[in-house]
Amino acid sequence: MAASFIETFNLERFQDALEGARTELRKSEVIERIWQKDHTVWKSGDAEISNRLGWLESPRIMVEAASSIKRFVEDVRKDGYTHALLLGMGGSSLAPELFSEVFGAAKGYLQLHVLDSTDPETILEVSRALPIETTLFIVSSKSGTTLETSSFLNYFYALVSESLGKERAGVHFAAITDPGTPLEKIGRALGFRKVIPGLPDIGGRYSVISPFGLVPAALLGLDMSRLLEPALQATRLCRESDPGRNPGASLGVLLGVLGSAGNDKATFLISPRLESLGGWIEQLLAESTGKEGRGILPIVNEHEFLPEKLAPDRTYLAVQLADDRTYEPVINLLKQSGRPLVLMTLNDLYDLGGQFFIWEIAVAVAGRILKINPFDQPDVAASKKKTEVLLNIYKDSGCLPQDVPSFEDPDIRFYADAPAQNLAAGLDRFLGEARPGDYIAVQAFLPVKPDIEAALQKITARLRSKTRLAVTYGFGPRYLHSTGQLHKGGGGNGLFIQLTAEGQVDVPIPESPGGPSSSYSFAILKQAQARGDWEALREKDRRIVRVSIKSDLIQGLKKIAPSPATLF
């Protein structure tokens, strides 16, 4: 990985602003102060800043911790485990998923699966597919109180206890959590095989080079030395005080300056082999920058790149393996189009270790330019609190609050601020509220399945074609832990289409690990999360509609993106 790994194109109209930002960073000694963990780089107050900068040292710390992680993995392999299921959300799940999808399992190591959905159908599919006898369940939560993760633990501990006996259940579990959390206490009380401490001075989305990312990577059989060496090299390069010679600072200046100038839709072209890197970058960028009325929207699941047909508010970022030519025609088109383009090249998969650190530095520098704190997430709690209130209502009354739909037919219910003659008219009216610089987010509280994702891609493509706006989609509740902060704390320029499902199969959630009773189910939890985010967005005066699909999900989704090519 060389310091010149970033190439840029079509930045002429931004040159004065870029040079001004670089000059300011040099004059204010910003890079030196970041490494000194000086919170005043971002804010005068030190709330959630200096105690969130441990990631600066984590590559070195993890080199020292690698041998103990390897011993844990070897003990697991020796005891015959063949699969691992990671139970987590956000920063605890995205890096493990990336490692699993990019590298896969080495021979003789564990097949790693990640669960970060409260959808009951998804949970049932996962639980039926895994061999309980040889599966290690990894409960991963920095706070040790994450609602979804606690629910997963309660359900799967009961499942393992029923299958293998309660006296054997604990050894099939391990926890990764910060010292002193409730999860640490639960893990020790239930006799977990291992409780692995996280680094408490690192926020979740910065935790990839820590036990939260590297323990799952080691279970897959990744070479820790090969992964950490590029990260260590990146730390050396990113100490350079001149932003022009510092890859992380250089990228951060680009993101911050172009984002401030209106090119705040960061559109990614990522080599297919590295595709899941997009989910990790999405959380880091959206949750770190989307606050105080500002934000950079990452677009990581777009598959059409026709700049002449899209609004000019985008910066294109290509992250490519050196031997991959998949996007070469598109990159050549973008070079000729005049649209801002950043090209990053990795020599091999293990260069991801350096890529992680460079992006972390970049987002920290972009936060300085945007004048926000990139380490807090003040609006994430809003949906969580509303979900808790709704669950308490359900416990007391046996039902969740219901709204009157604006339109209803045999397949769907449509909810908006005004009556609608039909779904097409209601969506048309909603999209008519769009302004230049807006974006559309489709928020799908639906099962995570290939056919549903294909339908969502069709919907977003039609929306993009109709409006020329940036359009993205995410599965709930996963997106609550990544783009949810940006949607509520950013510039208020989003139009949100929430998708929910009715009449699904259901799975009760025990109130404690292995406990006998349940006061609500995963279907109720998912409904409360969708309703909670709906209320949180409306409280922020965000524009939102909801489509509730009554039975056949694919049929309902086809009504949103009908064939042939006409949208509505």
Going residue by residue through the chain, which has 568 residues, state the pLDDT in tens, using 9 for 90 and above.
443 468 999 999 999 999 999 999 999 999 999 999 999 999 999 999 999 999 999 999 999 999 999 999 999 999 999 999 999 999 999 999 999 999 999 999 999 999 999 999 999 999 999 999 999 999 999 999 999 999 999 999 999 999 999 999 999 999 999 999 999 999 999 999 999 999 999 999 999 999 999 999 999 999 999 999 999 999 999 999 999 999 999 999 999 999 999 999 999 999 999 999 999 999 999 999 999 999 999 999 887 777 778 889 999 999 999 999 999 999 999 999 999 999 999 999 999 999 999 999 999 999 999 999 999 999 998 899 999 999 999 999 999 999 999 999 999 999 999 999 999 999 999 999 999 999 999 999 999 999 999 999 999 999 998 899 999 999 999 999 999 999 999 999 999 999 999 977 899 999 999 777 889 999 999 999 999 999 999 999 999 999 999 989 999 999 887 644 444 4
Beta bridge partners of 89: none
Please give the Cα distance from 314 to 14 (Å, whole number).
Answer: 13
Give residue 63's identity as a one-letter amino acid code: V
Please give the Cα distance from 74 to 541 (Å, whole number).
Answer: 52
pLDDT for residue 2: 41
Residue 53: DSSP 8-state: B
Do 173 and 189 touch, CB atoms closer than 8 A? Answer: no
Please give the Cα distance from 542 to 40 (Å, whole number).
Answer: 32
Structure tokens of 404?
């009157």
- Assign a CATH topology to domain 6-29+241-370: Rossmann fold (3.40.50)
Residue 105: DSSP 8-state: P
What is the arrangement of strands in the sheet containing 407-408, beginning at the earlier edge strand?
Answer: 407-408, 412-415, 543-549, 494-501, 439-444, 470-475
- What is the assigned CATH class of domain 380-560? alpha beta
Please give the Cα distance from 521 to 427 (Å, whole number).
Answer: 31
**Start-end of CATH 3.40.50.10490 domains in the chain:** 6-29+241-370, 56-227, 380-560
Handedness of CA 204, 206, 211, 215 (dihedral sign): positive
Do 198 and 207 touch, CB atoms closer than 8 A? Answer: yes
Do 3 and 237 touch, CB atoms closer than 8 A? Answer: yes
**Token pair 């239930």: residue:** 190
Exposed / middle / buried, residue 550 (Cβ in 10 Å: 0-12, 13-18, 19+): middle
pLDDT for residue 7: 94
Do 515 and 483 touch, CB atoms closer than 8 A? Answer: no
pLDDT for residue 242: 95
Which CATH architecture does the domain made up of 56-227 adopt? 3-Layer(aba) Sandwich (3.40)
Beta bridge partners of 343: 7, 318
Please give the Cα distance from 75 to 23 (Å, whole number).
Answer: 52
Q: 177-190 as b/e, with b when 16 or more CB fall inside 10 Å?
A: bbeebebbebbeeb
Residue 55: DSSP 8-state: G
pLDDT for residue 562: 63
